[in-house]
A and B are shown apart, each in its own frame.
Chain A
Amino acid sequence: MEEEVEKAVFAYLRKKGFRLTEIALQEEQTRLSSDASSLSRSESDAAKYYDGYGKLRSWAYNSLDSYRHELLRVLYPVFIHCFMDLVAQGHMQEARTFFQTFREDHEMMHLRDLQKLEGILSPSHLEEMELARLWRQNKVKIRLCQYSYELLVQYLHKTQSLAMLGVINEHINFEVYPGQPASMSDDSEAVFLIGTSQDLAREINQKELHWGLLEDSVEERMEKTLSESDKTEVDGNKEADTEDNNKKKTDGNKHSTAVNNKKKKDKVVGATGKTIRSESSMVSVPPRVKPELTLPQFPPEVEQSILEDLRNRVQLNSLALPSVSFYTFLNTHNGLNCSTISHDGSLVAGGFSDSSVKIWDMAKIGQPGRASNPQGENGSMQGMHSLASDEAKRPYSLLQGHSGPVYSVSFSPFADFLLSSSSDNTIRLWSTRLNANLVSYKGHNFPVWDAQFSPMGHYFATASHDRTARLWSVERIQPLRVMAGHLSDVDCVQWHPNCNYIATGSSDKTVRLWDVQTGNCARLFIGHRSMVLSLAISPDGRFMASGDEDGTIMLWDLSTGRSVSPIIGHSSCVWTLAFSCEGTLLASGSADCMVKLWDITSSMKALKTDDSKSGPASRLRLLKALPTKSTPVYTLRFSRRNLLFAAGALSAGS
Chain B
Amino acid sequence: MQGPGGGRRPPPVRQGSGASSGSQRRASILSGIYANKAASCRSPSTTSDGKAVDRASLVGNKYATRVFDDEGKDVTPRPLFRSDPNTVVPRQGKLLASSAYFGATGSGFLSSFSMHQTSGVNGSLGSFSRTYGSSSSSLSNASTTESVLDEIRKRSHLLTSYNFSDVQVRQEEIKEWTKEDLDRRVDIYLTETETIWILDMPSVVVSVESEDAGRVLERNRIYVDICKNRPGNDRFVEKMMQTINGAAKNKEVQCDKIIMEDKGMLVTSWDLYDSFNVSEIEPVSKAEGSRATTGKSSSTTSSLMISESAVLARIHEEEECHSEAILTSENFQQNLFFMERILMENIFQPKLAAYRQFPVLIVKEAEQEEHDKEKKDKEEQKNAFVDPSILSDLNKTPEEIVPPRLERLWSYICDLTNGHSVSSMAWSKVNPDLLAVGYGAFDCKEQKKGLACCWSLKNPMWPERIFRCEHGVTALDFSMASPNLLAVGMYDGSVTIYNVQSCNDAALLDSSESSNKHTGPVWQMRWVEQDRSATGDGKKERLICISADGRITEWFIQKRLDCIDLMKINRTESEKKKLPGEKERKREALISRLAPGMCFDFHPKDTNFYLAGTEEGHIHKCSCSCNEQFLETYRGHKGPVYKVAWNPFSTDMFLSCSADWSIILWHQDSQTPILTFSSSTAFVHDVMWSPKSACIFAAVNESRVEIWDLSASILNPVTSCFANPRVKFTSVLIAKNTDCLLVGDSKGEVSVFELQNLAAPNNNKVRFTRTRWWSSEACMLVWYFIPPKGASVKDLANRY
Partners in one complex: no
Residue numbers of A with Cβ under 8 A of B are none
Residue numbers of B with Cβ under 8 A of A are none
